[in-house]
Amino acid sequence: MGTRPADELILLEHVNLLCEEKRTDSDRFTLSMLRIDQLKGLLKFEQALDRNVGLVLVSFLNEAVDVAHAFRLLNALVFMKQVGRQYITLEELQQGKIETVNLPRITIDGKSGYDLKGVLDCTYTKAIT
């Protein structure tokens, strides 16, 4: 079995970001949304250098909601272990149960997407704080 690259690798002056992008019509992010190699890859990336951060970017999209958030997988795993389950809800992300960056919806050249500026600023990561 070969390895597959993450969705995004972003190299900045003070931090390196490895990002997995996920979409759900549910109101929760579950660990089962990540393949085992993606999960291990994000965690190993964080361990390789102090400046490395493994992020999950999740788009919650259904008839009631259209929002996206980015968060460190490591923070999500710690939270999930504390509450004894393998998911975190959109409401918990919005309440700040773990550190997260809201990704606002934008349109560029007529195409819809999410503004990743907050991820690029990444002021909440271990590398900067």
CATH, residue 74: 3.40.1350.10
Neighbouring residues of 77: CB distance < 8 A, sequence distance ≥ 6: 31
| 102 inside domain | yes
Question: Where is pLDDT greater, at 103 or 4?
Answer: 103
**Residue 64: pLDDT band by 50, 70, 90 thresholds?**
confident
| Residue 126 lies inside a defined structural domain of this protein | no
Q: What value does the mean pLDDT of the chain take?
A: 85
Q: What's the number of domains the chain is made of?
A: 1
Whether the per-residue pLDDT at 116 is higher than 90: the answer is no
Phi and psi, residue 89, nearest 5°: -85, 160
The pLDDT of residue 88 is: 97
The confidence score (pLDDT) of residue 1 equals 42
CA nearest to 124, candidates 58, 49, 72, 46: 72
State yes or no: pLDDT of 3 exceeds 80: no
Domain that holds residue 115: 8-121
Q: Does any domain span residue 1?
A: no
Identity at 56, one-letter amino acid code: V
